[in-house]
Structure 1
Amino acid sequence: MIEFKFDTQLLIAGQNLSEDDINDYITENFEGDSLLAVGDDELIKIHFHTNKPWEILEYCASLGEIHDVVVENMERQANGLKG
């Protein structure tokens, strides 16, 4: 069984974004693993495994415009189904 079932990926477009601040906030406030928050002050790519992807989407939307959102169910993928 997979502990964190949803692979959540998105881009945040904004101004004065900080990958370090975003990484720290997600780590401290959301349950999950495999976090990547990379980019620059105008565009950040997020990758995170969680059971509550809507919380990550809501947080990221508060920072700027989110786009290229992908949420895949890794449990389904592990069972040979489309995620």
Structure 2
Amino acid sequence: MLEFKYDTQLLIEGKNLDEDVISEYFTENFKGDCLLAVGDDELIKIHFHTNEPWKVLEYCASLGEIHDIVVEDMDRQARGLQG
């Protein structure tokens, strides 16, 4: 059984984005692992494993426009089912 069920990936498009600030917010406010927050001040790629992807989406949407959103159920994938 996986500790964190959902692989959550998306892009944030905005102005004055800071990957360090975003990473720190994730670390302090969300339970999860495998955090990746990379990009520049206008586009950030997020990858995060969590049990509460809706919280990630809500926070990221507060920073700018979010798109290319993928939320995959890794538990289903591990059992050979569609994610």
Unmatched 5+ stretches in structure 2 = none
Cα deviation per residue 1:11-54 (whole Å; 9 max; x = unaligned)? 00000000000000011000000000000000000000000000
Q: TM-score, normalised to structure 1's length?
A: 1.00
Letter in 1 for 2:40: D
Unmatched 5+ stretches in structure 1 = none
Distance 1:65 1:26 in 2: 18
SS class of match (2:63): coil
Structure 1 counterpart of 2:23: 23
Structure 2 counterpart of 1:11: 11
Structure 2 counterpart of 1:33: 33
Structure 2 counterpart of 1:47: 47
Task: Write out the 4+ residue segments of structure 1 that deviate beyond 4 Å after TM superposition.
Answer: none
Distance 1:50 1:25 in 2: 14
Letter in 1 for 2:48: F
Distance 2:25 2:17 in 1: 12
Structure 1 counterpart of 2:81: 81
SS class of match (1:15): coil
Q: TM-score, normalised to structure 2's length?
A: 1.00
Letter in 2 for 1:50: T
Distance 2:67 2:28 in 1: 24
| Identical columns (%) | 77
Alignment length, in residue pairs? 83
